[in-house]
Structure 1
Amino acid sequence: MMSWSERINKELSIRLSMDALRQRPIIEYNTTRWLISKGRKYLNFSSNDYLGLSQNPMIIEHWQQGAELGAGTGASVQVIGYRLQQFQLEQDLAKWLDYPCALLFNSGFIANQACIYLLARKRDRIIADKLCHASLIEAASYSPAKLYRFNHNRLDSLVSHLNKPCLGNTLVATEGIFSMDGDQSPLIDIAYQTHCQNSWLLVDDAHGIGVIGEGGKGSCWQHKVKPNILIVTFGKAFGVSGAAVLCNEATAEYFNQFSRHLIYSTAMPPAQVAALQAALRKIQEGDGLRKKLKQHIAHFRAGAKSLPWLLKQSTSAIQPLVVGKNSLALYLAYRLRLAGFWITAIRPPTVPVGTSRLRITLTAAHELEDIDRLLEALHEVASK
């Protein structure tokens, strides 16, 4: 039997030998477009701040004004009370996305886990896309329900699972836009097949909300699909942090009464709530930013199609270049870092074995000249 230290050191050694050891680089400055680390300035192509709102002066001002009410809330809403600003933000989100209720959570990871842990019981089953976020898959794996994973975006695979008998309820889970491939889910077909089986649909739209759909209302709005549970996060296009779960009144009350993630978490601080209220207004007015981002995506894809690596079929801000081996992904990220570009090598277990990649993310904060410089650097590295 190994000791704690022996076990830890063994696991770290294995990850190191596979070129899969993660790093936490220290940065001194980050404005979405630019990033400074160890005194050197880089063009940043790793941010999920798709509209550049983290640097918006009005949002920053609202954060500062909210902080005047206190740096924190001191307890959960069930203990300390429910601030009017929190209630108003939930009301605004629910009205915007056409749901009866919205519930605030401190992160998208927590919101995803809260939904699975609360809803799934023994005899139930969860049918999730194989590329769903780790927060959903982990929660489903540890829940008493049975987890099945259908082939990515394959309707026939989903239907095959749905047609099998289940003694309890079924929850189908997918994403609006997938975080590592950047492609969209066939939501219309998934919603139809799910509802035909009297099952519930959960959609995590972390990478779609604010970016696509009318007024930035996201993937479900774009496809005219209304899942039973819609999860939107605020750490991407909103430029802040946190998340919300959209649902009907009874489900919201069920969360308030039984969700440990909600009941036993300190409430969102007033500064964050104020910033999110401002960010929501900017997203609703952000057609110009979304148009600029769309132009950047088209420009990058046109210039990258002749690169020797697999450019995933993505029309989103996430543009993955799949290179295969961990060592090659690390090498390419290193060469780009030397050229002044901050791009991260994504490796297993975040992505399947053999699909290590450069995950390039474009934002409205970039300029076309930035993308031209990146394309030039990618082609130069490829030629060598």
Structure 2
Amino acid sequence: MTSWLDDFDTRLAELDAAGLTRRRRVVLPAAPAEASSTRLIVDGEILLAFCSNDYLGLAGHPALVDALCAGAREFGVGSGASPLVSGHSAANASLERELAAFVGLPRALYFYAGYGTNIGIVPALVGAGDALHSDALNHACLIDGARLARASIHRYAHADLDALDAALAARPARRQLVITDAVFSMDGDVADLRALLALCERHDALLLIDDAHGFGVLGPQGRGALAAAGLTGTNASRRVLYMATLGKALGVAGAFVAGNDVLIEWLLQKTRSYIFATAAPAALAQSLRASLRLVEADDWRRTHLQALIARLKRGLAGLPWTLTDSPTPIQPLIIGGNREALAVMEGLRERGLWVPAIRPPTVPEGSARLRITLSAAHRDEDVDRLTGALHDIARRA
């Protein structure tokens, strides 16, 4: 008698045949700490990498390393318990206050991971009988949070605010929640947050924004997409919850959600992924506090990053593939087919460059791409090397 467990071999073979098999690689830094996300040893080979979300080049910064070590010496390595038992250290509390002040919102709640944040806070906000409106290109953690909520899900076409307006106006439920990425992770475009908030104001809805890829990069002093839209401080709305991750531009790990005191208190009381998970270690919070100070002070990192983005766009002109219109460090180059994208990725690897091929189901069928990500740790000559290699590959295709 055969078992359904035997099917996994066949199903893995089907993934491979479709060009959808994914592979983990063991990596080591191949450069000084501050450039550790751009030069990596991959399977024993030194590669110039354009695949990290370390947008400001802070992941290996000495100030963060020193703060982490000092925090471990003071607080130990683990937190030992959930935040509502004994895991909420003085360092975590200070980080929450500093994050709230930095993004110009009344209060913040610090989580151990971005994915764990969204899959917890969405079900804490709406449930069965409520309505949830989700952009079609939202990140998986928002999608999974929506599914866990068991609300009625209305998926609107990417950035189609007319469709969202109509869905909200239909008033499928008294409690309505709109969830959106601020910067869409596979396309790099930025949501129109002011227009989204206006719709929520008109239709008595709550707006949850995931700014994983904008926090630290966009807005004055890197305060994020919400600040860039002018919706913080005295312009902050009680209808907005702002979530951002801390393992990308800030170079460490974790996430937070910020908003008015009542909403944050509700999330503290009702978010299962906060209540029942071990708190993030205090040493990480200390490292994040050091990172936050650098993000605020070092405008040159964002200035350099914008110059690199412009240089990349110029260098990619004339290629047979489509570069999306992104103002962010995420610069996707649409190849099309899965195997074609893998072939371009392999061609770059042969030339000492690492740029990942992103394929379905992460992106729609027929839109496999190279997800080029830039960091302030990259140099002008790094970008030129990448664009030159892509032109060479295109000529030989």
> Is TM (by shorter chain) over 0.5?
yes
Equivalent in the alignment of 1:271: 283
Secondary structure of 1:172 counterpart = strand
Matched, 1:188 2:194: yes
Unaligned runs of 5+ in 2: 31-35
- The separation in 2 between residues aligned to 1:378 and 1:83, in whole angstroms, is 49
Shift of 1:6: 2.5
- Normalising by structure 1, what TM-score? 0.97
The aligned runs of 1:1-384 (5 Å cut-off) are: 3-29=3-29, 31-68=36-73, 69-225=75-231, 226=236, 228-384=240-396
Alpha-carbon distance change, 2 to 175 in structure 1, aligned in 2, over 3 angstroms: farther
Aligned partner of 2:33 in structure 1 is none
Q: Are the aligned partners of 1:176 and 1:185 in contact in 2 as well (CA < 8 Å)?
A: yes
What's the CA shift for 1:165? 2.5
Tell me if structure 1 keeps the 8 A contact 2:131–2:176. Answer: yes
Q: Distance in 2 between matches of 1:108 and 1:142?
A: 16
CA contact (8 A) 1:127 1:173 kept: yes
Paired residues of 2:178 and 2:208 also in contact (CA < 8 A)? yes
Q: CA deviation at 1:53?
A: 0.3
Q: Structure 1 counterpart of 2:346, which letter? A: Y
SS at 1:61's partner residue?
Answer: helix
- Equivalenced residue count is 384
C-alpha separation between the residues in 2 aligned to 1:263 and 1:230?
A: 19
Please give the alpha-carbon distance, in whole angstroms, between the structure 2 residues aligned to 1:82 and 1:320. Answer: 39
Give the C-alpha shift of residue 153 in structure 1.
1.1
Deviation at 1:154, TM superposition (A): 1.5
* SS at 1:212 equivalent: coil
The CA deviation at 1:11 is 2.7
Q: For each residue in 1:14-40, what CA deviation from the matched residue of structure 2 results, as whole angstroms up to 9, or x when unmatched?
A: 211210111101112260120111221
Give the Cα separation in 2 of the matches to 1:7 and 1:170.
41
In structure 2, give the amino acid aligned to 1:20.
L
Alignment partners' CA distance in 2, 1:142 and 1:90: 26
Instruction: Read off the aligned partner of 2:23 and give its amino acid letter.
Output: Q
Deviations 1:46-81 (A, max 9, x none): 010000000111111101111112110111122225
* Distance change in 2, residues 1:2/1:262 (3 Å): farther
Check 1:134–1:65 CA distance in 2 against 1; reply closer, same or farther (3 A cut): same
Question: Structure 1 residues 240 and 81, CA, compared in 2 at 3 Å: closer, same or farther?
Answer: closer
Instruction: Name the % identity.
Output: 39
Per-residue deviation, residues 286-342 of structure 1 (Å, max 9, x unmatched): 210000000000000011121110100001100000011000011110110010001
Q: 1:123·1:146 contact (CA, 8 Å) conserved in 2?
A: yes
Give the whole-Å Cα distance in 2 for the aligned partners of 1:373 and 1:240: 28
Cα distance between partner residues in 2 of 1:23 and 1:104: 31
Q: CA deviation at 1:4?
A: 4.2
Give the 3-state SS of the residue equivalent to 1:202 in structure 2.
strand
Q: Is the CA contact 2:119–2:148 (under 8 Å) kept in the aligned structure 1? A: no
CA separation of 1:135 and 1:2: change in aligned 2, threshold 3 A: farther
Residues 11 and 117 of structure 1: is their aligned pair in 2 closer, same or farther, counting only changes over 3 Å? farther
d(CA) in 2 for partners of 1:194, 1:209? 22
Question: Contact (CA 8 Å) 1:216, 1:286: kept in 2 or not?
Answer: no
Which residue type is aligned with residue 53 of structure 1? L
Using the TM superposition, give the Cα deviation of residue 195 of structure 1 relative to its aligned residue in structure 2, in angstroms.
1.3
What's the C-alpha RMSD, in Å, of the aligned pairs? 1.4
Structure 2-normalised TM-score? 0.94
